[in-house]
Amino acid sequence: MSTDSSPETEIDISKKEILISSSEINQRVAQLGKEISADYQGRELHLVGVLNGAFIFLADLVRQINIPCQICFLQASSYKDQKVSSGEVTLMHNLDLRGKDVLVVEDIFDTGLTLKYVMEDLLRQKPNSIEACSLLNKKIPNKAEVTVKYIGFDIEDRFVVGYGLDFAERYREVPHIACLD
C-alpha cells in the first residue's frame, strides 16, 4: 500500500553531507553557555527561544548556563515550507519583559529579517538589556542590521537541517547539521 509520496519523504538524510557533527555542536554549546554565564553573572537571565527552530538549541544551551534563568518562547515564521524566506515575518507571543535581561535564542541568522523583527518587537517592552544568540550564522551579503552577540558557527550559504532546523517541518530531530543541497 502506498504511503505519503511527497518529494521530501524521498530524501535519505543519512546520505546528506554532515556540516557540523553532534559532538562539535555539544562542544560549542558548552562554550557558549560558559561565556553567557560569565557575562550575566549576578543577574537573572530571561532566555526567549524563537520557535520552532530554536527548541533543541535552547534546551541544550540552558543546561550549560550556571546562573538563574527563566525560559520562554515566541513563535516566528517567515518560510512557509520553502527554502527561501518569504520576507514576511509573523510573531506570536504574550511575553512581558519590562526591566528584564533578555537573550533571544535563534537557530539560524540568515537574512536576519526574523531576528531584526523580533528584537524590535521585544525592545518596545523596554527590557533592561537585550542581546541575541544564534547557533548558526549564514554568510550572505546584505543581511539585516542586527547585532548577534553570540554565534555558534559561521556557515556558507547552504540550506541546512537538523538540530531543530527543518525543511517543510521535516528533519528537526536529526542530531547533527546536514546540508540538503
Q: Which residues bind ligand IMP (CB under 6 A)?
A: 50, 53, 78-79, 85, 106-115, 159-161, 165
The count of other CB atoms within 10 Å of the CB of residue 162 is 25
Shortest Å distance, C-beta 66 to ligand IMP: 27
By C-beta, is 39 or 159 nearer to ligand IMP? 159
Min dist CB 79 to ligand IMP, Å, is 5
How does strand 18-20 pair with strand 177-179?
antiparallel
b vs e for 129-153, b when ≥16 Cβ sit within 10 Å of the residue's Cβ?
ebbbbbbbbbeeeebeebebebebe
Tell me if residue 110 is catalytic.
yes
Q: What is the DSSP string of 40-66?
A: TTTS-EEEEEEETTTHHHHHHHHTT--
Which is catalytic among the residues 60, 101, 107, 110? 110
Compare residues 32 and 108 and give the one whose CB is closer to ligand IMP.
108
Cell readout for 70 is 527563566
Let me know: does 172 contact 160? Beta carbons within 8 Å. Answer: no
Comparing CB distances to ligand IMP, the nearer of 101 and 110 is 110
CB 42 to ligand IMP: min, Å: 31
Residues with a known catalytic role? 110
